[in-house]
Structure 1
Amino acid sequence: MTASILKKTLGLAVLAGWSLAAQALDLNVGYQKSAINLVSLKAQGTLEKQLAPLGVTVKWYEFQAGPPILEAMNAGSVSIGMTGDSPPVFAQAAGANIVYIGQEPSKPESSAILVPAGSTIKKLADLKGKRVAFTKGSSAHYLTVAALKKAGLQYSDITPVYLTPSEARAAFERGSVDAWSIWDPYYAAASRAGGVRVLSSGKGLSANNTFYLAARDFAQANPKVIAIVFKALTDNNKQLRGNVQQVAKTLSGYTGLEAETYAAMLARHPDYSVSYVNAKTVQQQQQVADTFHALGLIPKAIKVQDAVWKP
């Protein structure tokens, strides 16, 4: 989203009668360690400064992955959050009252399927009969499905082991699983620790889109707040691209991950700009939904467009 569009959005908001008076509202933000832009805003207190004059209190809640963020959102305890491509599909299919409000540029190289350095698994087809760890309903889930399809394998050809990122890393390191499908910064952290080999990144397999989502009722009632959040994210992206080492150090101080891990993540994918969801991304997301439905992993077919918020 460009600054001019955001300025126009805010200007139209005032003309449309959005009040600039304080309104006593909680903005509960669900984030992951992978949410570079959000974590950076949290570290700087940017949203708190910008929204306090409007009576909006910002509260932050950290999650390991996208699915629990959307579960909390559907339950009413999270207002907005950021996830990968698959969690919204599973949530929509389950009837969650959430909407896509924005997107970041795709980042296919920011996720990967890892195997131990000495593994006999040399190509994707070698995953047949193997135990593969990933978080159910996450972007890593779709990456795994796409990788199997490319290799000419069926989902039933592997044994999926559904684990959180921290559980999966532990299982991977003790040899309980043969491969691990994961996203940054966990991917970067595992690579830095050593003893792993990248079987395949997401390039050519998945767009690995990142989405901002909101509870539908919250989005409909608070478009001004969302516009302010988007502007803060857009402005902050310029800062992120300007000083990688300092940004990595700041993020490390707020998440506990090493600064070098974030530096590797930023080098792999430097652009965290935000925009409203476009038609091309909706089409890519529909492919994700159709793939999971065809495999029987979601209970019904869905139309992604039905969950796209129009400001």
Structure 2
Amino acid sequence: MSTKVGYFPHNNSLFVLRHRGILERRLPDVEWVDLRDLPQGQRPAPTEGLPTVHADRLFDGGYDFIGTGFTPPITAQGQGHDVVYVAISGPRHENGRLLVKADSDIKEIADLRGRTVGIAHGSWQTTLLLFALERAGLGWGDIIPVDTGVNAAEEFLSGAVDAWVGAYPGLSAVEAQVSTRDLVATDGLFSHRSLWFTRRDFAENRSEELAAIIAALQESDAWIRDNPREAAALFVADARQRGGLDTDLDAWEHALRTRPFGLLPVTGEFVAEQQRAADLLFASGLLSREADVASAVLADVNALVPPLPDPDAR
């Protein structure tokens, strides 16, 4: 039986693993599934719910294992799917933030009331924005969220949206053209970790394959830490092949150098933050049912992810 692993550039670890042949040494019968090539379906408006493509494909045979940001596994639970968290990354505070142009009349989060905010809806950006709004006593209905997709930077630069949750490497091109101002520091608001998850049946019945994926990701992530420019070249080549915009090698190298690599066990601190996100999504009408994050954590799976070695102990 083949093991299907979903990947796309937004999960840097899985994307690099796909291109380096490391997992194939442990799992010869691995099938890579590029999420960008799967039917996406119609995306709901940001006021009507969350995109469900990641959850749908995990449970309709599209793939067995996937890595994303904060929101997709919550979305899956909100649909009644039985997901299991496999691992988390370290905090990625430097990767993205809520910002406006430096000359904007929006001075603080409270000024977002009635204004447009660009996000990649259904990703970690939805969660970050909800956390920011909560801090200012605002809710989802107090703003006009805009799903900007691949045109996010252009819509921000053109003024089509008043504020934007931006991320590197795309944010580098924006910063080269206009001065920006953060509305809130990501550090202290949102840990912005990468997450890896699977179905419960896969976690319980195919632990050897799961352990092989974890070990391969750890090896590949160590290579990224030591070779960020070579890793960046993989993303640039892919973007050029697909006619994408993120083809700046320096921007990709900067993005990879400022992100943590290596898988960590799921912690109680993470579960609490993820539950808070789930509660906000449900209260905002973006989930049809409540999600119980703790129920998606299995001790046997968590034990497959050893803590990373202390770099200061070398």
TM beyond 0.5: yes
Distance change (3 Å), C-alpha of 1:189 and 1:39: farther
Which residue of 2 is the match for residue 111 of structure 1? 96
Q: 1:133-172 residue pairs with structure 2 within 5 A?
A: 133-164=118-149, 166-172=150-156
TM-score for the superposition, normalised by structure 2: 0.80
Instruction: Determine helix, strand or coil for the equivalent of 2:27.
Output: helix
Instruction: Determine helix, strand or coil for the equivalent of 1:44.
Output: coil
Letter of the structure 1 residue corresponding to residue 114 of structure 2: G
Distance change (3 Å), C-alpha of 1:122 and 1:32: farther
Which residue of 1 is the match for residue 35 of structure 2? 62
Letter of the structure 2 residue corresponding to residue 234 of structure 1: Q
Contact 1:43-1:251 at 8 Å conserved across structures = no
* Alignment partner of 1:197 is 2:187: no
The alpha carbon displacement at 1:291 in A equals 1.9
Which residue of 1 is the match for residue 27 of structure 2? 51
Alignment match of 1:179 (pick from 163, 183, 204)? 163
Gaps of 5+ in 1: 1-24
Contact 2:131-2:277 at 8 Å conserved across structures = no
Letter of the structure 2 residue corresponding to residue 288 of structure 1: A
- The percentage of aligned residue pairs carrying the same residue is 27
Alignment match of 2:215 (pick from 225, 231, 240)? 231
Contact 1:74-1:98 at 8 Å conserved across structures = no
Gaps of 5+ in 2: 41-50, 241-245, 302-314
Task: Decide which moves more: 201-210 or 168-177.
Answer: 168-177
Contact 1:114-1:196 at 8 Å conserved across structures = no
Letter of the structure 2 residue corresponding to residue 302 of structure 1: A
Distance change (3 Å), C-alpha of 1:210 and 1:278: same
Q: Deviations over 1:172-220 (max 9, x none)?
A: 343222112244444345445x335142442221111221011222222
- How many pairs are equivalent? 281
Aligned counterparts of 1:63 and 1:123: Cα–Cα separation in 2: 35
Task: Decide which moves more: 98-107 or 66-75.
Answer: 66-75
* Alignment partner of 1:282 is 2:266: no
Distance change (3 Å), C-alpha of 1:198 and 1:240: farther
* Alignment partner of 1:86 is 2:71: yes
Structure number with the higher helix fraction is 1
Aligned counterparts of 1:44 and 1:284: Cα–Cα separation in 2: 33
Aligned counterparts of 1:38 and 1:296: Cα–Cα separation in 2: 31
> What's the C-alpha RMSD, in Å, of the aligned pairs?
2.4
* Alignment partner of 1:261 is 2:251: yes
Aligned counterparts of 1:190 and 1:45: Cα–Cα separation in 2: 34
TM-score for the superposition, normalised by structure 1: 0.81
Aligned counterparts of 2:89 and 2:36: Cα–Cα separation in 1: 19
* Alignment partner of 1:42 is 2:25: no
* Alignment partner of 1:33 is 2:9: yes
Distance change (3 Å), C-alpha of 1:216 and 1:189: farther
Alignment match of 2:190 (pick from 206, 217, 223)? 206
Contact 1:81-1:214 at 8 Å conserved across structures = yes
Which residue of 1 is the match for residue 235 of structure 2? 251
Distance change (3 Å), C-alpha of 1:188 and 1:47: farther
Which residue of 1 is the match for residue 115 of structure 2? 130
Alignment match of 1:301 (pick from 281, 290, 310)? 290
Contact 1:70-1:88 at 8 Å conserved across structures = yes
Task: Decide which moves more: 112-121 or 85-94.
Answer: 112-121
Letter of the structure 2 residue corresponding to residue 46 of structure 1: I
Letter of the structure 1 residue corresponding to residue 187 of structure 2: K
Distance change (3 Å), C-alpha of 1:182 and 1:250: same
Contact 1:28-1:61 at 8 Å conserved across structures = no
Contact 1:113-1:179 at 8 Å conserved across structures = yes
Q: Deviations over 1:227-266 (max 9, x none)?
A: 1111111122222211322222233223443222221212
Q: Deviations over 1:248-296 (max 9, x none)?
A: 2233223443222221212322x21113322221122111112222333
Aligned counterparts of 1:215 and 1:191: Cα–Cα separation in 2: 39
Distance change (3 Å), C-alpha of 1:298 and 1:196: farther
Contact 1:292-1:298 at 8 Å conserved across structures = yes
* Alignment partner of 1:222 is 2:198: no
Aligned counterparts of 1:190 and 1:76: Cα–Cα separation in 2: 38
Letter of the structure 1 residue corresponding to residue 19 of structure 2: A
